[in-house]
Amino acid sequence: MHSETHIKEKLTAFLKQHSISDLPVILQRPREDRFGDFTSNLAMQLARHLRKSPRDIALDITAQFGDDDPVVDHTEVAGPGFINFYVRKEGLLDALRAILKADKQYGRVQRENPPTAQIEFVSANPTGPLTIGHGRQAVLGDAVARILEAAGYDVTREYYFNNAGRQMRVLGQSVRLRYLEICGASVDFPEDHYQGAYIRDIAQKLYDRHGDSLKNSDDITPFKDIAEEEIFKDIKGTIARLGFAFDSFFNEKSLYDEGKIDAMVNRLKEKNLVAEKDGAVWFLTSQLGFDQDRVIIKSTGEPTYRLPDMAYHVTKMERGYDRIIDIFGADHIDTYPDVLAALKVLGYDVDKVTVLIHQFVTLTENGEKVKMSTRKANFVTLDDLLDEVGVDVTRYFFLMRSMHSHLNFDLALAKTHSDENPVFYIQYAHARICSILKLAEDKKLTWQQGLSRLDNLKTEEETALIRELTEFPKIIQKCTETLEPHKLVNYLHNLATVFHKFYTVCRVITGDEALSLARLALIQATRIVIGNGLNILGISAPERM
């Protein structure tokens, strides 16, 4: 926003005058409009540097904004030293014009040499369909990717998986036993095997291809291979329904095939951080300040999760990304610090790595918790949820709470087709604007004609709406820094509320043509911001509902 930039530049110049370079210049929106358009506590932060009272410093700062300032109409020193800035009306109207000019690019950053970011998420082994637990991570990861893309990053979405090990052997054996049932054999199906209907479906496909020719084979490879093939096909299809695709799939097995697991152990040995105890291989994290050492290879010779994760993250570092983002469920909270410790001790810049831990999801229906277990197959798949409530509702509900909070997915609310459903509340605002603009066109009135009439926007509701619209780029910037999409969700919901209040008080098409045209331009800007925000969240912005 032009006015915010102008104020920040003057505050930065004041700091330079006093040879201060280590203080950030932060402007905030006051909670109430009567306290101005922006407020700053810079004077209070400067008190210890300048050895003056905050109020005296605030007065020195406000003196930089004279009566002839092109952006700031006046300033006010409040309380112990807060500075409130009141922007000239023309400054707000310039911001409104900028939104209308930028259109779909408003809130987005174009960079000539975009920084790169890699985001790893979902990363479920191919043992079954994606559940709603995977769904939260899938939507969260894609939303973070979209936010970074809006901020000008070149983003790679990556899926890391393991198609070896005990889980896959059990999966292959599960398919084999169902295949034998289809061949007419009587089978005692173990409790700890995968019991979902999808296992029988995979077995049927194998039978359709090969008949009963495999019934006497003890080799589970063909059973495991078709299971992986079919489940990955299913996973990719579910992800496509959510509106995105992964750019790359990284197989953990390649780390073994290419010797990167052994190389990782050897590099840690060179740092004297590996020891053998009780038949196992330990990473001596106690030497790095941790409370205890960690097993990286069990006494059976099988690595724990930590070791391949370390080797995998070395590949991420060596691929040269500017930012590396890992999105994990809460069950990973104890393992990732060890991975980062290994990277750091080997000389990699771990400041590039951001780990996002999200809490779990509880699905409730009619007040009852729906239990989920992949083995027992009494789970709700992500596809089931998409069938039930649709993509927009699914994405919104997964994003509307902080990832740090447990998510209670209220199925009854999600299926509500009214503005009680928060995603519809926002979409209704967009659709309503589109309807008004269409009605105006029928009357030969267009928002473009309002560009020269914006000074007719004078009411409190109009001003409040303009101010809210100009917050959008700042919200995107904040989301880029914190990687928290729910902040954008909250902003859009608040913007819809401000719009609905404006719409209730201010009739758009009135007997005053100049005012009508100005308000058409205002609601067009609102449509742009809501549409752009929903697009970044991967949610549609319907023109009618």
Residue 200 lies in a domain: yes
Residue 129 lies in a domain: no
Residue 38 lies in a domain: yes
Give the model's pLDDT for residue 1. 47
Domain boundary among 54, 87, 120: 87
CA 535 to each of CA 105, 238, 280, 479: distance values in angstroms, whole numbers, following the listed order: 11, 19, 50, 15
Give the model's pLDDT for residue 372. 53
Q: What is the mean pLDDT of residues 475-497?
A: 97
Residue 197 lies in a domain: yes
Q: Which helix (H) or strand (E) holds 250?
A: strand 248-251
Report pTM. 0.89
Asked which of 2-6, 133-137, 433-437 is least confident by mean pLDDT, the reply is: 2-6
Closest alpha carbon to 57 in 70, 69, 71, 40: 40
74 and 176 together in one domain:
no
Which residues are paired to 119 by β-bridges? Answer: 157, 325
Give the model's pLDDT for residue 378. 54
Q: What is the mean pLDDT of residues 64-88?
A: 90
Domain boundary among 241, 273, 301: 241
Give the model's pLDDT for residue 374. 47
- Residue holding tokens 């994405």? 395
Domain boundary among 61, 87, 113: 87
CATH assignment of the domain containing 51: 3.30.1360.70
Residue 260 lies in a domain: no
Give the model's pLDDT for residue 2. 67
Statement: residue 214 has pLDDT above 70: yes
pLDDT band for position 88 (cuts 50, 70, 90): confident
Statement: residue 115 has pLDDT above 60: yes
CATH assignment of the domain containing 513: 1.10.730.10
Statement: residue 49 has pLDDT above 60: yes
Instruction: Give me the domain span that covers residue 445.
Output: 419-537
82 and 170 together in one domain:
no
Residue 508 lies in a domain: yes
Total domain count for the chain?
A: 3
The pLDDT tens digits for 402-446 are: 999 999 999 989 999 998 999 999 999 999 999 999 999 999 999
| 195, two tokens | 């019991």
Q: What is the mean pLDDT of residues 334-346?
A: 95
Give the model's pLDDT for residue 50. 92
Give the model's pLDDT for residue 33. 77
Residue 375 lies in a domain: no
Give the model's pLDDT for residue 379. 64
